[in-house]
Amino acid sequence: MCVPHISGARWRMSLLEVEGINAYYGDAHTLFDVSLHVEQHEVVALLGRNGAGKTTTLKTIMGVMAPKRGAIRFGGQPIQGLPPYEIARRGIQLVPDERRILGGLTVEENLVLAGLAAERRWPLERVWEVFPRLAERRGNRGRDLSGGEQQMLAIARALVREPQLILLDEPFEGLAPIIVQDLLGVCRALAKEGRTIVIVEQNVHAALSLAQRCYVLNNGHLVYEGTPASLHLDPDLMHRYLGV
């Protein structure tokens, strides 16, 4: 399926604009002219098999990797080439698939530390409302949390900085189905209150249940842009590129 043309007018309205980025790991070319856009208050799913380039796309947006070609704009301002801390300061938060919880600190200390440099930050009471399980575990160290609790803490740590855009990298990976349902409920609540989210996820059906639009990557190439409904109408594409 051809990727629909994106007009210049629509680009100007987007919160995040990624135009023709090319990224490399050493000499290996991993992203090929990838373009995407995310509107304010929108949930977008970025899908593809392992190694398709999804995490690389998020890392490039976040400044962990620098594109060799292409442009990235956030709020109309170029951000490619900026260090990750500066991109975070401008309002983007990445929740990495490794979670990167500080195991020696308590839940509350992880959250307080995350909010120290934020211009605006959530009060802890708001975190406890969204994640009541974290309220119960607020005095426990990160290393003593379950995988699902660590994921909740990783998401809460991003939210506490009041970001304009949240990048979620495999938030449901390796979690029990009941925990996935809990996290899906949190993500739906965040979307309902107007949070802008890009989600990378191998659990295709979970991601599509959240998203208004989706992109599919294959070997670093963008092969699909559209709505979840239109993607479901193309079972051949879903099987070929997503394995479902």
Over range 220-235, report the average pLDDT.
96
Looking at residue 141, its pLDDT comes to 97
H helix runs in 25-167, sequence order: 54-62, 84-89, 107-115, 124-130, 132-136, 147-159
| For range 181-193, the mean pLDDT | 92
State the pLDDT at residue 148: 92
CA nearest neighbour of 114 among 147, 76, 163? 163
| Chain centroid to CA 63 | 14
What gap in Å lies between CA 46 and CA 222, rounded to an integer?
A: 10
Residue 110's nearest CA partner among 146, 186, 161 is 161
Q: Which pTM value belongs to this model?
A: 0.91
Tell me the pLDDT of the chain averaged across its residues. Answer: 92
How do beta strands 43-47 and 69-74 pair?
unpaired
Which residue type occupies 175?
A: L
The residues near 34 (Cβ < 8 Å, ≥ 6 apart) are: 18, 20, 21, 22, 53, 57, 70, 217, 220, 221, 222
Q: Determine the Cα–Cα distance for residues 101 and 197; give it in Å rounded to an integer.
A: 21
Axis crossing angle, helix 177-192 with helix 147-159, rounded to the nearest 10: 10
Whether residue 96 contacts residue 167, with contact meaning beta carbons closer than 8 Å, is answered with no
Q: Above 70 in pLDDT, residue 3?
A: no
DSSP string for residues in 151-206:
HHHHHHHHHTT--SEEEEESTTTT--HHHHHHHHHHHHHHHHTT-EEEEE-S-HHH
Higher model confidence: residue 3 or residue 35?
35
Higher pLDDT, 128 or 121: 128
Record the tokens describing residue 128, joined without a space. 């406890």
Chain position carrying tokens 């009041």: 162
Is the model's pLDDT at 13 over the cut of 70? Answer: no
pLDDT of residue 99: 86
Inform me whether the pLDDT recorded for 96 exceeds 60.
yes
Q: What is the mean pLDDT of residues 93-120?
A: 91
Of 40, 32, 98, the residue nearest 64 (C-alpha): 98
Q: Answer yes or no: is pLDDT of 175 > 60.
A: yes
Instruction: For residue 202, give the amino acid letter.
Output: Q
Mean pLDDT, range 163-191, rounded to an integer: 93
pLDDT tens digit sequence for 29-83: 999 999 999 999 999 999 999 999 999 999 999 999 999 999 999 999 999 999 9
For residues 43 and 1, what is the distance between their CA atoms, to the nearest angstrom? Answer: 22
Between 51 and 5, residue with greater pLDDT: 51
Asked whether the predicted pLDDT for residue 4 surpasses 80, the reply is: no
Q: Examine the pLDDT at 238 and tell me if it is beyond 70.
A: yes
Domains (range + CATH), the chain: 1-91+164-172+182-244 (3.40.50.300), 99-163 (no CATH)
Which helix (H) or strand (E) segment is 229 a member of? helix 228-232
Local confidence band at 214 (pLDDT 50, 70, 90 cut-offs):
very high
pLDDT at 164: 95
